[in-house]
Amino acid sequence: MLKSYTSSYDVTRFIDGRINAFREPLADGGYRWVRWIRPPGDGPVDKEGFTVVAVQDRGDADRFESSAQQGYSVRIVVPRKRSLLNENKAVYVYDVEITQDDETKTHTLNRWMNPDTSQTFDLRGITQRVRVAVRVATSARNSREALIETHVRQAVEDDDPANPNYLAIRMLQRIRSDADAATVDAEIAAIEESVFPGTDSLPLLSLITDLRRADELMRSEKPEEQEKGNKLLKETLRRLR
């Protein structure tokens, strides 16, 4: 960031590369120091939908299958609408088959689910891959007009506090979200204070940024900007004393 030709993209790319290295990538994918956790809120959801054709009165059934990674719960949803302009119709759900870590469990429902209703099934912890199969049908008049969805709620990546570089990663993440001179200088000052208590930190990046700005203003052909540049230069030099 001290280089005048560095762009915000360059800074972000550099930070991402350093964070990636600190997490220690594994040969088979993933990272040594990253774990999967349930998010404090809803978190990401992997959604898949299926338009029902089978007619329940005839004993027919459609089998709808989906899969997702890093899931911790499965929700069977009959949404209120099947499209922006069309209302959804009721769906008859025979059963829901959930395969987690090569172990399959079948949940028998045998009931109608009206639009804007759902049924949730919690998984055993966070599974690397979950497969869902739902057997469904609808009424004859609603064939091809009923939509059912599977929603797999997914875990999110979280840096492991046991990582020796954990604090460095957190610092880089803070800088990445607000990569300006004041943020960087504040992070450096915090580190210096932890190592050398009572020491005044020199806000080097802020000073360089202000000196460059002062030089730019002083080179302007407008007298008012030249005056601003001279004032900024004096104020910056005063901070160096």
Give the model's pLDDT for residue 43: 83
Of the candidate CATH numbers 2.60.120, 1.10.3470, 2.30.30, 3.40.50, the domain formed by 37-158 belongs to 2.60.120
- Residues contacting residue 35 through CB under 8 Å, at least 6 positions apart: 157, 158, 159, 160
The per-residue pLDDT for range 124-154, each reduced to its tens digit, is 999 989 999 999 999 999 999 999 999 999 9
| pTM: predicted TM-score of the whole model, two decimal places | 0.71
Q: Which residues, in sequence order, are CB contacts of 21 under 8 Å at separation 6+?
A: none
Q: Find tokens 């599974």 and name the residue.
A: 127
Per-residue buried b or exposed e for 202-240, using 16+ beta carbons within 10 Å of the residue's own CB:
ebebbbbbbeeebeebeeeeeeeeeebbeebbeebeeee
30 CB-contact burial (10 Å; exposed 0-12 / middle 13-18 / buried 19+): middle
148-196: pLDDT as tens digits: 999 999 999 999 999 999 999 999 999 999 889 999 999 999 999 999 9
Answer yes or no: is pLDDT of 101 > 90: no
Mean pLDDT of the chain: 94
Contact 202, 173 (CB under 8 A): no
Length of the chain: 241
Domain ranges, ordered by start, for the chain: 37-158, 197-241
Please report which confidence band the pLDDT of residue 17 belongs to, taking 50, 70 and 90 as the band edges: very high
Quick one: what percent of the chain has pLDDT higher than 90? Answer: 85
Q: What is the per-residue pLDDT across 214-240, written as a single tens digit (0 to 9) for each? A: 999 999 999 999 999 999 999 999 888
Three-state SS at 113: strand
CB 52 within 8 A of CB 146: yes
Strand 91-100 versus strand 117-137 pairing type: antiparallel
pLDDT exceeds cutoff 90 at 199: no
